[in-house]
Amino acid sequence: MWRWFDGPSGLPRRVAVAVLALAGFLVSMQLAFFQYGLTDTVWDPWFGDGSVKVLDSAFSRSLPVRDAALGAVAYLIELVLEVTGGLSRWRRPWHVLLLGLVSAAMAVTAIGLVAMQIFVLHAFCTLCLVSAALSLTIPLFVAEEVVVAWGQLRRGRRYGLTWSRAIRGQVV
């Protein structure tokens, strides 16, 4: 039983990330529902009509798919990657490195979207900021496992494995 709590793929960290990703998915879905006209209002206790300005901005409308829907898909991918794999999934680096790549991309996107609210739109959206906070928090939980998986990949390469075998965690 204690094995579940040890190691870079231990359950407490993974459950925390899964909960954060699920929360991000739900927030993004609420925002996407508003952007697609499925709901008339968006909850915003602090910025009033700022959410409408942000969610209905020219940038948001310029994408083929609304940005909140893209965020919901990204959170869902993050959630699936987090709940799949066993307690030693770091030994198969592709899985963990893909999770790290997705979480890093979401963090960079969150910074860009917050910067857009500050410098371009001059308006703020509470749920958008909540989503950004989630996107910036998740990599903090994922980082340790990514570092260990990267070390596993490098170890495989040092022992002469090809990139494809090393990333899949195959042994000599």
Which CATH number characterizes residue 79's domain? 1.20.1440.130
Dist CA 102 CA 70 (whole Å): 12
Computed over its alpha carbons, how large is the radius of gyration of the chain? Answer: 19
Average pLDDT over residues 113-118: 97
Tens digit of each residue's pLDDT (9 = 90 or more) over 40-99: 999 999 998 999 999 999 988 898 999 999 999 999 999 999 999 888 888 889 999 999
Residue with tokens 């869902």: 76
Range of the domain at 29: 2-168
Instruction: Choose among 110, 107, 146, 154: nearest CA to 14.
Output: 146
CB 137 within 8 A of CB 127: no
Q: How many structural domains is the chain composed of?
A: 1
Distance between first and last Cα of the chain: 30
pLDDT of residue 91: 82
